[in-house]
Each structure stands twice: as C-alpha cells, then as structure tokens.
Amino acid sequence: DQQVKQNSPSLSVQEGRISILNCDYTNSMFDYFLWYKKYPAEGPTFLISISSIKDKNEDGRFTVFLNKSAKHLSLHIVPSQPGDSAVYFCAASATQGGSEKLVFGKGTKLTVNP
Amino acid sequence: DAGITQSPRYKITETGRQVTLMCHQTWSHSYMFWYRQDLGHGLRLIYYSAAADITDKGEVPDGYVVSRSKTENFPLTLESATRSQTSVYFCASSRTSGSFGYNEQFFGPGTRLTVL
C-alpha cells in the first residue's frame, strides 16, 4: 500500500515556464512534507519542506502548496531552468509519533527543454 | 567538511557472497538510514538507527543486517547476496527533530551494487 504517490513518472516543460509536480498521500498522520531533487549518479538533496500547519512555503523559484483536506501537495518551479532537470521525490513524515522516518514517493522525472 | 560518504561507490558481486556497504558521516547526527532505489519503486527504507547501538527495521529489511557501534558509522551487510538485491543504495543522516518541525535527511552519493 503506497502511502505517498507521485502519479506522473515524467514531466516535460519549456525553459521559462512553470513546472508543477504533484504528490498525494493517504496517511492522515503525516504532518511534515519534503521535496528532494536527485541528479543522476548523485544522492538526493533536500529542496523545500512544509509543515501541515501551513498551506504554502516559498523559497526563491520553488513553492510548495499543501491541501490537507485533499491530502495533496504540489511543487511549483517558476521559472523553470534546464538545470532543474532531475528526478523529484516527494516525502512525508509523521513527526508527532516521534518518528524520524520518511516515506518517499516513486519520483517524477522533470525535463526542462531549452 | 566531508559530510556523508559511502564506499564503495560501485560493487559487483556474485550470488551467495557477503557484501558490506559502508557509510560514514562527520556531522555527529543521531539518526542514520539506509535506502535502496529501484526503478518503479522510488526510495525504500531498509534499516535505520536512532543512535549508536539502536537500530530498527524499515520497509524492506529482509536479507540485510546493520550495526552501529559508533555514531559516525552505519554499515549495511548483505549476508548472502541475491540478484534481487541489485540496486542503488543510499545512506542518509539527520539530527533529531525535537518538538517542532523536522530536520531533513542528508544523503550520501550512493553505492551501485550488482549481484550476478
């Protein structure tokens, strides 16, 4: 049973346009969400996070939106750049349970075309 | 500032052999994790450790053994490697989050393991 779902395996956008990556979760105990970016042959790197007490968090070109009622979050990248081409993983944690574990989605491969 | 390192970066072994993947972090983070990444599965947690001498199973622990005698090291051993354990393995570490928020995990560069 997949608790964190990224239903789009891939996404292709033009440079300068907006990239929207989506993530759904099923476990209502999740209260902290993170996005990681991964380049080939490298480890994932933390990109941005959001607590369940917020519905938006912004960091430069990256914004994460959280819709708790829909159990849905999205990552917006504006404007998209070729260097953003990578696999993006959504991850969730149930921090109130004292867990430091993350549950990851399967990832979405973003390609930004020049 | 070495951060978190993994060795070897690439390993080819044969079915039935024992293999140990090493992970070392220089931040004195309490938590350490082992994941495997497979096509179609994303990142799956194998084992994790909250502190030295404290380890616990993750989602896919079968066929793996871990130990943590020192805070900075968290080796992962495949006692008798199988072809299904061919994968890319990532080690990660994090500080304890405390009462609020969450401290993100920092990942190593990965070890690509092939079991023939």
Q: B97 and A95 in contact by Cβ < 8 A?
A: yes
Q: What is the mean pLDDT of chain A?
A: 94
Q: What is the mean pLDDT of chain B?
A: 93
Residues 30-49 of A with CB under 8 A from B: 32, 34, 36, 41-46, 49
Q: A43 and B31 in contact by Cβ < 8 A?
A: no
Residues 46-65 of A with CB under 8 A from B: 46, 49, 51
**Tens digit of each residue's pLDDT (9 = 90 or more) over A17-27:** 999 999 999 99
**Tens digit of each residue's pLDDT (9 = 90 or more) over B83-103:** 999 999 999 999 877 656 677
Q: Which of A63-72, A89-98, B24-33, B65-74 bottoms out in mean pLDDT, i.e. has the lowest?
A: A89-98
| B116: nearest Cα among B79, B86, B87, B78 | B86
Say which of B42, B45, B106 has its CB closest to residue A89: B42
Dist. CA A42–CA A81, nearest whole Å: 19
pLDDT value of residue B100: 60
Q: Quickly count helices (H) and strands (E) in chain A.
A: 0, 11
Determine how many CB atoms are found less than 10 A away from the CB of residue B32. Answer: 28
What integer is the mean pLDDT of A29-50? 94
pLDDT beyond 70 at B1: no
pLDDT beyond 80 at A95: no
Q: A102 and B97 in contact by Cβ < 8 A?
A: no
